[in-house]
Amino acid sequence: MKRLFLFFATLLLAGLNSACDGIFHNIYDEPKPETHSEYGFIKVNEADKSGIIYVDARTYDRWVYIDFKNKKIDTANILMNEGEPSRWDFALHRYDVKTCGGSACETGFHTLEELRAAGDVSFSNFEADVNDSVTVDMSGMMDGIIL
């Protein structure tokens, strides 16, 4: 009986230990470390008008407005009816994008390098930017209610 108890106690301890950092140490999602520590216009090449911009557009209640001319990024809270900034070119909201009076067309290009390599390309199917509504509250998603 004592051996049976010792066997189960050892098994229990081994099971508890393996769930913490043992053989199952990678079964839980762990946040990845940030690859960058700052937001905004990180790198700008004035010669070819290219660069790197980091923005945080993860929230549902904010638009992130980008002004390329002044290299400025601004946000507006949708729920508090904060207005758009006076000058902006491009805006991001979680899964949504809008332009300031711009038009867009769908292409087969995945990068700007592919577009440049294609040479002189003409696009004729531009459509005006339309953004009727955005999702601001996902708390009722499991009940089929998305606001």
The DSSP letter of residue 119 is -
pLDDT of residue 14: 60
Instruction: Please choose, from the candidates 26, 92, 29, the residue with its C-alpha nearest in 3D space to the C-alpha of residue 84.
Output: 92
pLDDT of residue 111: 86
Is 8 in a helix, a strand, or coil?
A: helix
Which tens digit of pLDDT belongs to each residue from 5-49?
A: 666 666 555 655 555 555 666 666 665 666 656 788 888 888 887
Angle at 35 between CA 29 and CA 38, to 5 degrees: 125
Check pLDDT > 70 for residue 66. yes
Report whether 81 contacts 69 (CB < 8 A).
no
Instruction: Please choose, from the candidates 77, 52, 51, the residue with its C-alpha nearest in 3D space to the C-alpha of residue 64.
Output: 77
